[in-house]
Amino acid sequence: MSGDTIDWITVLIAVFGGAIRVGTPFLFVSLGECLTEKSGRINLGLEGNLIMGAMAGYGVAWISGSPWLGVLAAGATGVLLGFVHALLCQQPRVNDIAVGIALMILGTGLAFFLGKPLIQPSAPHLPALHLGDWSDNPALRAALEINVLFIVGVILAPAMAWFFRSTRWGLAIRTVGESDDAARAMGLHVNGVRMLATMAGGFLAGVGGAFLSLYYPGGWSEGLSSGQGLMAVALVIFARWDPVRCLYASLLFGGAGALGPSLQSVGVTWGYYLFNAAPYVLTLALMIAASSTRVRSGMPGSLAAR
């Protein structure tokens, strides 16, 4: 910061780097949610998956010494929670939103309970690629330290779009999401497809949680997640059920979330908490704007029917 003027370049670089760092867990939970919602069910419990994944990933990485085993374990807890969600939701008159809230409470409770001994020890972190070594600017170098999981996510987003568009399984999920009757007419097992989609979505959310504890912010504590899992549902609406747009939306949300801390780093502290609300206000504004056209393009039919 030079004199009274704010160093906008530094802010911009910090927001850019933050968009990637803060956006990666958003990316994984939103892809998971997108997969689940394409099959016609909303999983509001991904917040529980995220926190469980963060705890399990950290614990397993600490015990085994391998962060990648941690990521796998995080995904596995997500599969388990996804299974419970799907099992309850396929019962008559059970509401998927309520089940999501229940699993959020249970997942958070279990993670805090079992994670108590993990607050002290330090587990190995996930590796990052240093793509900014050519630059002399330390801010830019820090921003370009990109985690491998982010790159996995960037590849996964178009891959999932291709999966929905061009594979038999993708078609099955879309059909189930569009109409129960049509799916049954095609000979598809509606509950089975939804269960697989929810479990796979849970896996991705768990991996997103592992990113939180094994990379950024890193470490295990009870304040690790700030509602990224709950935001996933809003993000998917924002991205209109398109995996590639989930990637853009996650970066945008990550950037919006990084705005407050970035401004703080150059000495602007006013309104820090208001900037934290930026992603939520943005989502709300977009939902209102998107709904005014009365057309929800991309929304799975069985979600629109209620």
Partner 1 sequence: MLPFAPFLIPLVAIALSLVLFGGFVGLAGADVQAVYQSIYRGAFGTWFSWQNTLTSAAPLMLTALCTALPARLGLIVIGGEGAVVVGGLAAALTGLVLVDANPWVALAGMALAAMLTGGLLIGLVGWLRHGRNVNETISSLLFNYISIAILSFLVIGPLRDPETLNKPSTHHIGDTHMLGALGDTSIHWGFGYGLIVCLLLWVLYKRTVFGFAVDMVGGNVRAALLSGLPVGRIVFLVCMMGGAAAGLAGMVEVAAVHGRANTSLNAGYGYEGILIAFAARHHPLAIIPMAILFGGIRASSGLMQRDHDLPDATSLVLQGIIFILILASEAVFARLAKRQGSAA
Residues of this chain that interact with partner 1 (CB under 8 A) are: 44, 84, 88, 91-95, 97-99, 101-103, 105-113, 116, 222, 227, 230, 233-234, 237, 270-274, 276-277, 280-281, 283-284, 287-288, 291-292, 294
Q: How far is CA 153 from CA 53, 73, 110, in A?
A: 16, 18, 27
Q: Show the tokens assigned to 117.
A: 């001994």
Q: Which is nearer to partner 1, 1 or 285 (CB)?
A: 285
Q: Which is nearer to partner 1, 108 or 175 (CB)?
A: 108
Interatomic CA distance for residues 45 and 109, integer angstroms: 13
Q: How far is CA 251 from CA 99, 131, 287, in A?
A: 29, 18, 18
What angle, rounded to 10 degrees, do the helices at 190-214 and 67-89 form?
150
CB of 204 to partner 1, least distance (A): 20
CB of 91 to partner 1, least distance (A): 3
CB of 49 to partner 1, least distance (A): 13
Task: State the CB neighbour count (10 A cutoff) for residue 186.
Answer: 11
CB of 66 to partner 1, least distance (A): 26
Q: Which is nearer to partner 1, 186 or 274 (CB)?
A: 274
Q: Which is nearer to partner 1, 163 or 280 (CB)?
A: 280
Q: Which is nearer to partner 1, 106 or 152 (CB)?
A: 106
Q: Which is nearer to partner 1, 168 or 294 (CB)?
A: 294
CB of 302 to partner 1, least distance (A): 14
Inter-residue contact 304 to 38 (CB < 8 Å): no
- Which DSSP string do the residues of 71-136 spell out, in sequence order? HHHHHHHHHHHHHHHHHHHTSTT--HHHHHHHHHHHHHHHHHHHHGGGSSS-PPPPPEEETTTT-S
SS (H, E, C) 131-180: CCCCCCCHHHHHHCEEEHHHHHHHHHHHHHHHHHHHCHHHHHHHHHHHCH
Cβ neighbours for 108, distance < 8 A, ≥ 6 positions apart: 47, 48, 51
Q: Which is nearer to partner 1, 95 or 137 (CB)?
A: 95
